[in-house]
């Protein structure tokens, strides 16, 4: 009989504990999802920069390379393509903000790829775009 009284006295504690733990769980889940978004954007930037560096080092026009990189990169990315006589460099960066918290600061993700410029591929003036 004594255990029944103890059980009745702690009846609302599970509800209170859940009410405290649930918001913390939601915050942890949101942070994990944001981390996955940032990691995905980083991988997209790396892939886009590598593909752009390969194309530019083979002699593709810089404007065509830039548009190809922008198509492969996450939305809102910034791209810089520089082709020199020895190396070609493509830099991609994007700021990732969580869709559910517009007031939260964004995380800027960068990726750079460098490739050896093939003979005859360099353009006169090889300026960045």
Q: For the ranges 12-26, 39-53, 104-118, which has the lowest average pLDDT?
A: 12-26
pTM recorded for the entire structure: 0.75
Q: Convert the pLDDT of each residue in 47-75 to its tens digit.
A: 999 999 999 999 899 999 999 999 999 99
pLDDT band at 126 (very low <50, low <70, confident <90, very high): very low
C-alpha separations of 52 from 41, 103, 104 in Å: 16, 33, 31
**Residue 78 and residue 93 in contact, taking contact as beta carbons nearer than 8 Å:** yes
C-alpha separations of 70 from 49, 74, 121 in Å: 9, 8, 21
Q: Convert the pLDDT of each residue in 78-93 to its tens digit.
A: 999 999 889 999 999 9
pLDDT band at 12 (very low <50, low <70, confident <90, very high): low
Could you tell me the residue ranges of all domains in the chain? 16-116
């Amino acid at each position: 009989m004594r255990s029944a009284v103890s059980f009745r006295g702690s009846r609302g504690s599970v509800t209170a504990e859940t009410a405290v733990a649930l918001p913390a769980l939601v915050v942890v889940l949101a942070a994990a999802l944001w981390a996955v978004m940032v990691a995905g954007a980083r991988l997209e930037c790396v892939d886009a920069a590598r593909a752009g560096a390969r194309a530019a080092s083979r002699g593709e026009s810089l404007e065509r390379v830039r548009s190809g990189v922008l198509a492969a990169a996450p939305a809102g990315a910034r791209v810089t393509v520089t082709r020199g006589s020895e190396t070609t460099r493509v830099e991609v960066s994007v700021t990732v903000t969580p869709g559910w918290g517009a007031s939260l600061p964004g995380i800027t993700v960068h990726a750079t790829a460098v490739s050896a410029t093939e003979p005859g591929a360099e353009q006169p003036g090889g300026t960045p775009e």
